[in-house]
Structure 1
């Protein structure tokens, strides 16, 4: 039997208020996306977190208190099969969930720790998005409903002039074949722990992925905080991309210019600082879970 997490108890009024606040916060993100989905519309910025990541809208909306929390005056049926009745109320069956995850908590913990232990590199200037359209025609690019800001030839020239310094495998794997040899590194899934660094926009967006993969072991408020940061990072990612999204209200960050690169680095540094706080919170949750499992 694994060691139990030190229990904390929430009165009904407290956990119901937290659940309602979480649902209200998430609904503001979900409503436009679900309306577009019903209408068959697409948004290259706002829909990304729902289409690229595997966490469904209903899963994001569902509130969990995290491991080791007892909810007084609650019904286990309200929270799903991972919850059980406790003498003081309802709590997550942490052992059951950890057993099902079979090592993923440790894998995520080690990745977060390795990333946090490195300096932030801020010299990529968002060229990963440019490498994803390198030497493609307008019809071939992923978001082909939206024009590129520059001609295909000029877009390719920017990539070749700036070079590509992407350390993130899940960005690199979407590079066009002729763009891959231009990258300074050749990231793989196996080298992810060795290469991930805290200045990378995609590594910081992925805090959302690691948080929801830890759910319901971590509080839903932490998952929502990671989602909120990822939304802002995605906006910079696409503003600095070669796409022209001004019609959607996204003025470009022109990283092909000195001024644009300066603007990009300032925003990237701010996101890295904010992501460091979330990464530390996720690490603390993982350490707590690992210690309880090893105890």
Structure 2
């Protein structure tokens, strides 16, 4: 598997994350920690199937405990912060802050050995973020101080996922199937905290249960396995910038099911996101070509 193939596989996670908002809305009123417990339990089972299919069980036993702790805390912390932020602040504004993580991935990746941050990556990331901002806020900029706690949690979520994604390159020796333990660990860690801090509220409709199953199979399940491959073996700067397609695709999904309506805001956001990704892609390809020539 070459670098660009791994990047393409990682982008599959972005496609799956486009369903995150839809499934999260459908899973209401399940509280965040209980949602973590159920969805990641399903995601862990997906991982065990992955491990059996790729014959990775033996390699998983050789993974150091610190790697499992790192992965579990990363998934647990981000999703707890994200879902809590959307409970305490308006979803549009909190979502905008949380979507700083692709920009942070691009910037943080410049600190990795063998990586170099160029102007094209920064320009592409900024354009992509501008497009994400248009989609999430609808062109508005309403940030009320009454929701400050939610905004701070969203900011912490962005830094958590940006840092987790970049630092996962440092544990690249761990097989992707080990993400199954991260998911099961997140589920196991969330359950006692849910019982202590939250009231148990389960979905009362088939749609609610289907949404939780969809989360576990896709956005908080299979997505993490392909994202792991992309972060460890792909172009992490291009992958981080292309992640801005998630809010665009998420909006298109909501339009398809009739929750949102098409608008000029969406058109401009599409142009910004596509243009930003194209600039970052061109920069990465030139950098790869130059490295090959020098090598």
Q: TM-score, normalised by structure 2?
A: 0.29
Q: TM-score, normalised by structure 1?
A: 0.29
Higher relative contact order, chain-length normalized (CA < 8 Å, sep 6+): 2
- The structure number with the bigger radius of gyration is 1
Higher helix fraction (1 or 2): 2
Higher strand fraction (1 or 2): 1
